[in-house]
Structure 1
Amino acid sequence: MNQYLTKLMLGLMGLVLSASALQAQFYQQPTTEAPKHEFRSIWIATVPGATDWPKGATTQAKQDYLREIIQEHVKAKMNAIVFQTVGRGDALFQSERLPWNISLEGLGVDPGWDPLQFVIDEAQKYGLEVHAWYNVFNVGNSSFKAQYEASSNPEHVYKANPEWIKEVPLDGGGFGYWLNPGIPAARQWAVDNVIEIVENYDVDAVHFDFARYPNSFTDDQQTRDEYDDSGFTGAMDDWRRNNVNEFQRDVYAAVQDVKPWVKVGTTPIGHYKESQWPTPWNENCPYYVSPAQAPCSWGANRAYFQVFQDAITWINEGVNDYIAPQLYWAIGPPGPHFDFLAQDWRKNSEASGKHVYIGIGAYQTTPGTNVAAEIDDQVDLIRENNHAGHMFFRFDQTIFEGPPNFQEKKSKIDYGTRAFVPVMDWKDIDVPPAVDIARETLMASIVDDGNDITLTWDAPAFETASGDTKISYAVYRVNDNSVPDVMTAMEDPANLYALTGETTFTDRITEAGQYYYFVTAYSRNWVESAPSNVVEHFTATSVESGDEIASAFKLDQNYPNPFNPTTQIRYAIGESVHTNLTVYDALGRQVATLINETMPAGN
Structure 2
Amino acid sequence: MTEMNSDMYCHFSILILLASIQTQIGNCEDSVWSPREFRGVWVATVANIDWPTSRYHNTDQQKTELLTILDKAKELHFNAIVFQVRPAGDALYNSTIEPWSEYLTGRQGRVPSPYYDPLQFAVEEGHKRGIEVHTWFNPYRARSANTSSADLASNHMAKRFPNYAYIYGKDIWMDPGAKVVQDQAYNVIMDVVNRYDIDGVHFDDYFYPYPISGHDFPDTHTYHEYTTGGGHLSLADWRRENVDTLIHRIYNGIKVAKKIVKFGISPFGIWRPDNPPGIHGFDSYSSLYADSKKWLQEGWVDYLVPQLYWKIDPPQQSFTALLDWWIQQSKQHRHVYAGMFAGNTLLKHWALTEIGNQITESRARSGRLSLGDIQFSMKYFRDNSVGISDYFKQNLYQNPALCPEMSWLTTDLPSVPNPSNLTITGHMMIWNKDNSGVIFLWSLYEKRADVWDLVALLDKDTVTHKVASNGEYAIRGVDRANRESNPAVVHITDAGGSVIVG
Please give the range of the TM-score, normalised by the shorter of the 2 chains: 0.7 to 0.9
Alignment partner of 2:344: what SS? coil
Segments of structure 1 that go 5 or more residues without pairing to the other structure are: 11-32, 170-174, 279-295, 445-452, 464-468, 481-487, 539-579, 591-603
For residues 182 and 371 of structure 1, the distance between their equivalents in structure 2, rounded to whole angstroms, comes to 43
Displacement of 1:361 = 0.5
Give the equivalent residue in structure 2 for 1:518. Answer: 474
For residues 178 and 145 of structure 1, the distance between their equivalents in structure 2, rounded to whole angstroms, comes to 12
Give the equivalent residue in structure 2 for 1:376. Answer: 356
142 and 101 in structure 1: CA distance in 2 versus 1, 3 angstrom threshold: same
Size of the alignment, in residue pairs?
467
Give the equivalent residue in structure 1 for 2:144. Answer: 141
Contact 2:265–2:303 (Cα < 8 Å) also in 1: yes
Give the equivalent residue in structure 2 for 1:168. Answer: 168
Once the two structures are overlaid, the 10-residue window that deviates more, 325-334 or 219-228, is 219-228
Give the equivalent residue in structure 2 for 1:27. Answer: none
Give the equivalent residue in structure 1 for 2:18. Answer: none
CA deviation map 1:529-585 (0-9, x unaligned):
0111415265xxxxxxxxxxxxxxxxxxxxxxxxxxxxxxxxxxxxxxxxx5x676x
The one-letter amino acid paired with 1:139 is: A
401 and 176 in structure 1: CA distance in 2 versus 1, 3 angstrom threshold: farther
Give the equivalent residue in structure 1 for 2:117. Answer: 114
Displacement of 1:40 = 0.8
Contact 1:399–1:410 (Cα < 8 Å) also in 2: no
Pairs within 5 Å for 1:141-160: 141-145=144-148, 148-149=151-152, 151-152=153-154, 155-160=155-160
For residues 250 and 298 of structure 2, the distance between their equivalents in structure 1, rounded to whole angstroms, comes to 13
Displacement of 1:52 = 3.5
Give the equivalent residue in structure 1 for 2:10. Answer: 6
Give the equivalent residue in structure 2 for 1:198. Answer: 193
Once the two structures are overlaid, the 10-residue window that deviates more, 189-198 or 56-65, is 56-65
The answer to whether the aligner puts 1:238 opposite 2:237 as a matched pair is yes
230 and 71 in structure 1: CA distance in 2 versus 1, 3 angstrom threshold: farther
Segments of structure 2 that go 5 or more residues without pairing to the other structure are: 15-31
Contact 1:67–1:122 (Cα < 8 Å) also in 2: yes
Alignment partner of 2:103: what SS? coil
CA deviation map 1:377-427 (0-9, x unaligned):
000111223312110000012343469xx9x96364532232221111211
CA deviation map 1:226-271 (0-9, x unaligned):
2568855232211111111011011112222211221111110111
For residues 66 and 147 of structure 1, the distance between their equivalents in structure 2, rounded to whole angstroms, comes to 31
CA deviation map 1:1-20 (0-9, x unaligned):
9642323399xxxxxxxxxx
Displacement of 1:358 = 0.9
Alignment partner of 1:358: what SS? strand
CA deviation map 1:141-184 (0-9, x unaligned):
353436633x24xx222222222212221xxxxx1111211112
For residues 242 and 205 of structure 1, the distance between their equivalents in structure 2, rounded to whole angstroms, comes to 24
Runs of 4+ in 1 over 4 A off after TM superposition: 227-232, 366-369, 437-444
Give the equivalent residue in structure 2 for 1:395. Answer: 378
Contact 1:92–1:115 (Cα < 8 Å) also in 2: yes
Displacement of 1:49 = 5.1
Give the equivalent residue in structure 1 for 2:318. Answer: 337
Give the equivalent residue in structure 2 for 1:40. Answer: 39
The answer to whether the aligner puts 1:460 opposite 2:460 as a matched pair is no
Give the equivalent residue in structure 2 for 1:308. Answer: 289
Once the two structures are overlaid, the 10-residue window that deviates more, 319-328 or 190-199, is 319-328
The one-letter amino acid paired with 1:126 is: R
For residues 409 and 398 of structure 1, the distance between their equivalents in structure 2, rounded to whole angstroms, comes to 5
Displacement of 1:211 = 4.5
The one-letter amino acid paired with 2:334 is: K
Give the equivalent residue in structure 2 for 1:77. Answer: 77
Alignment partner of 1:51: what SS? coil
For residues 344 and 291 of structure 2, the distance between their equivalents in structure 1, rounded to whole angstroms, comes to 26
The answer to whether the aligner puts 1:502 opposite 2:485 as a matched pair is no
141 and 276 in structure 1: CA distance in 2 versus 1, 3 angstrom threshold: closer
Alignment partner of 1:143: what SS? coil
429 and 256 in structure 1: CA distance in 2 versus 1, 3 angstrom threshold: closer
Displacement of 1:350 = 3.1
For residues 248 and 404 of structure 2, the distance between their equivalents in structure 1, rounded to whole angstroms, comes to 24
The one-letter amino acid paired with 1:362 is: A
For residues 137 and 351 of structure 2, the distance between their equivalents in structure 1, rounded to whole angstroms, comes to 25
For residues 410 and 423 of structure 1, the distance between their equivalents in structure 2, rounded to whole angstroms, comes to 28
275 and 334 in structure 1: CA distance in 2 versus 1, 3 angstrom threshold: closer
For residues 389 and 13 of structure 2, the distance between their equivalents in structure 1, rounded to whole angstroms, comes to 33
Contact 2:138–2:203 (Cα < 8 Å) also in 1: yes
187 and 440 in structure 1: CA distance in 2 versus 1, 3 angstrom threshold: closer
For residues 537 and 70 of structure 1, the distance between their equivalents in structure 2, rounded to whole angstroms, comes to 36
Give the equivalent residue in structure 2 for 1:319. Answer: 300
Displacement of 1:86 = 1.0
Displacement of 1:93 = 0.9
TM-score, normalising length: structure 2: 0.84
For residues 94 and 62 of structure 1, the distance between their equivalents in structure 2, rounded to whole angstroms, comes to 16
179 and 122 in structure 1: CA distance in 2 versus 1, 3 angstrom threshold: same
Give the equivalent residue in structure 2 for 1:471. Answer: 440
For residues 315 and 423 of structure 1, the distance between their equivalents in structure 2, rounded to whole angstroms, comes to 17
Pairs within 5 Å for 1:180-199: 180-199=175-194
Displacement of 1:461 = 4.4
The answer to whether the aligner puts 1:419 opposite 2:395 as a matched pair is no
The one-letter amino acid paired with 1:472 is: L
383 and 177 in structure 1: CA distance in 2 versus 1, 3 angstrom threshold: same
Displacement of 1:276 = 4.2
Larger radius of gyration: 1
For residues 13 and 390 of structure 2, the distance between their equivalents in structure 1, rounded to whole angstroms, comes to 33
Alignment partner of 1:207: what SS? strand
For residues 47 and 392 of structure 1, the distance between their equivalents in structure 2, rounded to whole angstroms, comes to 17
CA deviation map 1:313-346 (0-9, x unaligned):
1122222111111111112127622122112212
Give the equivalent residue in structure 2 for 1:225. Answer: 224
Displacement of 1:506 = 3.4
For residues 218 and 302 of structure 2, the distance between their equivalents in structure 1, rounded to whole angstroms, comes to 33
Displacement of 1:221 = 3.7
Contact 2:13–2:497 (Cα < 8 Å) also in 1: no
CA deviation map 1:432-491 (0-9, x unaligned):
1211367688655xxxxxxxx33332233436xxxxx453210112357xxxxxxx65xx
Displacement of 1:88 = 1.5
312 and 232 in structure 1: CA distance in 2 versus 1, 3 angstrom threshold: farther
Displacement of 1:498 = 3.0
The one-letter amino acid paired with 2:177 is: G
